[in-house]
A = this chain, B = another copy of it.
Amino acid sequence: MIEKIKFKQDKPIIFITNDDSVHSKGIAELINSVAHLGQVVVVAPDVVRSGSSSAITHGVGLELKLLCSQDDLYIFSCSGTPVDCVKLAFFTLFDKQLPHIVLSGINHGSNASVNSLYSATVGAAMEGCVNNISSIAFSLCDHADDADFSNTLPHVVAMVEKVLKDPLPKGTFLNVNFPKGVVQGLKFVRQADARWSEEYDKTFEKGTTQYWLAGYFDNREPNAVDTDEWALSSGLGSVVPVKIDMTDYDWLENNCLK
């Protein structure tokens, strides 16, 4: 039986999730790097849930398993998506006091530009934001299971310290991506206009064609110098402030209401 956690009043509560699963290197590195900053609660998927966006599970029962409990650190696995992890954690583990900050990642692979739409690392941070909690999605542009996060971590810690001290405005969260290798600084930028040109790989089995997602990335503004893709290609970490209110106010004002 999972019971609500009794938190100390003198230390901030840091909630961590991801989409590469609770067993990934990226989440372990994130936990270790910020553990000294507060009380840490981790609820992350029991299996890889990459590309599940803000998907939620309904009609299926979810399970929560305590993997580790020691001073100021609780780690659970959850059978749901990253957004399920956030929702279920808030419902089961927290009482009146929700966490002070939601961290998602560190993802193995880029979640810049259009990738943010498909990313459940980003989806989980968005869910934190929906609940009015300062939330940050962290990703490293390296898909390898044993990716090297050492250049990334100092920037992660500095950003978490900053946001704990100076919370984000309501309705906005941060989507942070780091280049592979040396990080020459951070840059606040906008989301690049990009898409995947979806070239599927085909296989033929038992008279049926199977299509396997492959594709190549198409940055539609390769010459822009103010986008996340530009920052990353310049060796900079990209920080995009993302709004959960996606209303196009310009269009609303200029084309609809007048």
Contacts and interface: CB of A to CB of B under 8 A. Distances in A.
Interface in A31-72: 50-64
Interface in A193-232: 193, 195-196, 198-200, 203, 205, 208-213
Contact of A83 (B118, B191, B240): B118
Q: State the number of copies, please.
A: 2
A51 B56 CA distance: 5
A209 B2 contact: yes
Contacts of A130: 114, 117, 195
Interface residues of A, number: 70
Given A193-B245, A243-B246, A210 B62 contact: yes
Interface of A: 1-2, 50-64, 83-84, 87-88, 90-92, 114, 116-118, 120, 123, 126, 130-131, 169, 171-172, 188-191, 193, 195-196, 198-200, 203, 205, 208-213, 239-249, 251-252, 255-257
